[in-house]
């Protein structure tokens, strides 16, 4: 595959984004997309990435250095997803609304971790006794 330059520019009014993929030494063709069209493209790219990753190992989270795209202070929801367990959905500023399902045994593990970390371990008091 030839090398290419990728340019992305959000319009001043933030209503469109222009994407231009230009193979080196050739003329590019910019394409303007609305937010809905960009979301659709991102979904299709995600589908393509998923197909490319089939049969390959996912990332290891054993290391503290594992790359994670963090979405802080976001809106989220949790819903029962019988019989599997639960669905956790949230808004990620880079990727839009995303979510994942958790089986019952993982929910038990998460609740145990959160209970141990935030309920059973007393927090340090800012006042000196």
Domain that holds residue 96: 76-120
Q: How many CA atoms lie within 13 A of 102 on its CB side?
A: 16
- The reply to whether 65 falls in a domain is no
Q: Please count the structural domains in the chain.
A: 2
Per DSSP (E only), the strands in the chain are 4-10, 16-23, 31-34, 76-81, 85-92, 96-103
Write the pLDDT tens digit of every residue in 78-119: 999 877 789 999 999 999 999 999 999 999 999 999 998 888
Task: In whole angstroms, give the CA distance from residue 33 to residue 40.
Answer: 10
pLDDT band at 63 (very low <50, low <70, confident <90, very high): confident
d(CA 88, CA 79): 7
Domain contains 68 = no
- Say what the pLDDT of residue 122 is: 66
Same domain, 85 and 49: no
Domain boundary among 14, 38, 53: 53
Residues 49, 8: one domain?
yes
Q: What pLDDT is stored for residue 5 in this prediction?
A: 93
């Amino acid at each position: 595959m030839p090398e290419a330059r990728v340019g992305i520019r959000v319009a001043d009014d933030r209503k469109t984004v222009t994407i231009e993929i230009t193979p080196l030494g050739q003329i590019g063709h910019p394409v303007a997309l609305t937010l809905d069209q960009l979301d659709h493209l991102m979904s299709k790219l995600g589908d393509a990435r998923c197909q490319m990753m089939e049969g390959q190992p996912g990332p290891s989270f054993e290391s503290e250095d594992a790359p994670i795209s963090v979405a802080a202070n976001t809106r989220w929801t949790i819903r029962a997803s019988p019989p599997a367990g639960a669905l956790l959905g949230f808004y990620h500023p880079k990727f839009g609304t995303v979510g994942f399902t958790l089986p019952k045994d993982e929910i038990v593990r998460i609740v145990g971790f959160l209970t141990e970390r935030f309920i059973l371990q007393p927090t340090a008091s800012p006042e000196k006794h």
